[in-house]
Amino acid sequence: MSEAVLDIQDKPKTGQWISLSLQHMFAMFGATILVPQLVGLSPAIALLTSGIATIIFVLITQFKVPAYLGSSFAFIVPIQVATESGGIGSAMIGAMFVSAVYALVSLIIWKTGYLWLMKILPPIVVGPVIIVIGLALAGTAVDMAMTIPAANNTSEYSLLHFSAAIVTLLTAIICTIYFKNIISLMPILIGLLAGYAYSAAIGIIDFTRIGEASWFAVPDFLIPGVDYSFQVTPTLLFIMVPIAIVTISEHIGHQLVLGKIVDRNYIKDPGLHRSILGDGIGTFISSLIGGPPKTTYGENIGVLAITRVFSVYVIVGAAVFAIVFSFAGKLMAAIETIPTAVLGGISILLFGIIASSGLRMLVDNNIDFGNKRNLVISSVILVIGIGGARLEFSETFVIEGMALAAIIGVILNLVLPGLDKEELDDGTE
């Protein structure tokens, strides 16, 4: 690796600090605001909580890990399902319990080591579950791109709106394929901007909301006991909590990649238990005030790799800018006017990339599908997850979709013959 321009603890000069921090904020901006748009949350609160969660993460990891936390795509379907069954407050409660799982795993790792976790969640389980997360959203992305709301809760095909989706998609593809600098790390944001401009040109955007919005606006908070009652059901827990299987694995992967880029061993120092705890507390605070669950962002890791600026102060600066921008009423109003077709166009690429990243995990880890054990585990996970299988014990206790697929995947990995006993090592020395 080439030498760092700014190392972890280096403080940039003021002008450089501002520009580098803004660059990180824009890198995560498109994806972070897209998640709330898809699940019915406030983009402003998602932006605010991403900044707060990032600062919390940096503090807990002792200012050693330059990672940015944004909205997690793994929870889109679980949030949608939880919202349908019990309202948006139900999804927030589920996210709080996810953060409790993070805290528990962090505690166990602190006491016993981490190898047991990495071996109980091998690529043959995590890869197919990630594929399920992407493909389960495929129908949603296409419907958003092609249709517009009609009477009686129906939708109708619109070629005009579909053209906006295509422009958005093509722009994002061009940025990803034909650019190798910082632009290639922001295809979502640039695609949204291009799609928005095209939508304005063809007259499918109503700008009234922007004109009516104030320059300063407080984000829409969702507080338990005030905006919704705190009710926990078994179904709620099994909708949300099992997805932690994927997000924790994703977190480990990001820490390993980031460690290679900045030439540090983050699994040992400050420790995987600290980084997972930081992710968990960030998610807890986010859900406590109405934001989506958080995860470390690959987009920002990419920015680090290109710029060689590893300063944690730049990451904190990006978090501060995100918090400030979340109170910009006009900007948030403009985000809310983004046509559904534009969101659908970018989602086609994004959800496909999620599914493809699961496939890449299998390829990178040389998973042998000539091995019947691997074939069985992946096949069952894919069909159960994409097919929408469910275990319904009662009206309030249902396990379904990708949550059920993740649970069954872990169980199959542990019980099917062929698992090396050493894979259950607890990681202690």
Residue range 108-137, pLDDT digits in tens: 999 998 888 877 888 899 889 889 888 888
Helices (H), ranges, 122-229? 123-135, 138-146, 159-178, 187-201, 208-212
> pLDDT, tens digit, for every residue of 201-240?
999 998 998 988 899 999 999 999 888 888 888 888 888 8
Start-to-end CA distance of the chain, whole Å, equals 30
**pLDDT-derived band of residue 426, with 50, 70 and 90 as boundaries?**
very low
**pLDDT-derived band of residue 429, with 50, 70 and 90 as boundaries?**
very low
For the ranges 100-104, 235-239, 349-353, 392-396, the maximum mean pLDDT occurs at 100-104
What is the tally of helices (H) and strands (E) in the chain? 19, 6
Question: What integer best gives the mean pLDDT of the chain?
Answer: 88
> pLDDT, tens digit, for every residue of 267-299?
899 999 999 999 999 999 999 999 999 999 877
pLDDT of residue 261 exceeding 90, the answer is: no
Question: What distance in Å separates the CA atoms of residue 74 and residue 66, rounded to the nearest whole number?
Answer: 22
Mean of pLDDT values over 87-106:
94
**pLDDT-derived band of residue 146, with 50, 70 and 90 as boundaries?**
very high
pLDDT of residue 1 exceeding 90, the answer is: no
> pLDDT, tens digit, for every residue of 74-87?
898 889 888 988 88
